[in-house]
Amino acid sequence: MSMFVVGLTGGIGSGKTTVANLFAAEGITLVDADIVAREVIAPGSKGLEAIVTHFGAEILTPEGELDRAKLRQRIFSHPEEREWLNQLLHPMIRQEMLAQVEKATSAYVIMVVPLLFENGLDRLVNRTLVVDISPELQINRTVKRDNVDASQVNNIISSQCSRSEKLARADDIIDNQGEISTLKREVLALHQRYLQLSGTDNAHD
């Protein structure tokens, strides 16, 4: 890729979106894996067409959108179906993300990927940035934000890369356990660093 790309990741409830939006406020293009994942299965998409062909039309809502709850039920107890779905969607998501990166006009791009290391997408970026908070804080924030059970959050955390592994593989780390003012300072410092690394700091006004 011709563009300098930073892969932004972090566990559930770590504040990835907040950090990403702070970079966006500096004029940096965001390519968000979660948004792209929704786009590749939107009504009229090839992704949705393939899913309907495979699972049947009952996988749709009356409005013609993918019924995520039904799909989750179908793949939950059938690992081979989940594997089929991953084989279909992961390449589509990757291709669309790379297309969006190439179209970006900002000095560098932030690729927001919750499962950056787990899905091997760190291979697509020049640098990795992990938003880090303690597991206790992760649980508290997510329970509050999503109104879910702590055990559910625990299950999600344990299904992801461990905190120590993420930190070991990160090029840069943002500690998001303090005040928003501290977070803003950290992001601005990294923004300057990424401008330098992407070779565009001279053009920066």
Query: Amino acid letter at 62?
Result: P
Using CA atoms, how far residue 44 sits from 165, 169, 192, in Å, is 39, 38, 41
- What is the pTM (predicted TM-score) of this model? 0.86
pLDDT at 204 over 50: no
More confident residue, 150 or 99: 99
CB contact at 8 A, 10 and 16: yes
Q: In what order do the strands lie in the sheet with 5-9?
A: 29-32, 109-112, 5-9, 127-132, 172-175
pLDDT digits (tens, 9 = 90+) for 160-186: 888 899 999 999 999 999 899 999 999
pLDDT digits (tens, 9 = 90+) for 131-140: 999 988 888 8
More confident residue, 138 or 106: 106
pLDDT digits (tens, 9 = 90+) for 1-57: 689 999 999 988 899 999 999 999 999 999 999 999 999 999 999 999 999 999 999
The SS3 assignment for 118 reads coil
- Give the ranges where 5-78 is alpha helix by DSSP (H): 16-25, 33-39, 46-55, 68-76
